């Protein structure tokens, strides 16, 4: 597994699994991203403290992208 698939696939799988289980944004955001980063870390064999930085960046990025989309879907959908 290489390139973007190595980064995105674990995050997407974890996101959709948690979303299916909870059907709520905040638990999906927090647990889905955290589990996705953990799965990515295991799949790539990265066991360093910089994974904490990756987790924080992923939480911020996904939150800034997904929250407005979620809000708009609830408001207009």
**pLDDT tens track for 20-29:** 999 999 999 9
Mapped onto helix, strand or coil, the DSSP state of residue 77 is coil
How much is the pTM?
0.83
DSSP string covering 13-49, please?
HHHHHHHHHH--HHHIIIIIHHHHHHHHHHHHT--ST
| Cα angle for residues 2, 8, 70 (degrees, 5° grid) | 170
**pLDDT tens track for 46-76:** 877 778 898 999 999 999 999 999 899 889 9
Sequence spans of domains, the chain: 3-76
């Amino acid at each position: 597994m290489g390139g973007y698939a190595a980064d995105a696939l674990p995050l997407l799988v974890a996101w959709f699994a948690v979303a299916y289980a909870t059907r709520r944004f905040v638990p999906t955001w927090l647990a889905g991203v955290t589990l996705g980063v953990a799965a990515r870390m295991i799949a790539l064999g990265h066991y360093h403290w910089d994974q904490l930085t990756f987790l924080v960046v992923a939480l911020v990025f996904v939150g800034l992208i997904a929250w407005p989309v979620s809000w708009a879907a609830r408001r207009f959908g």
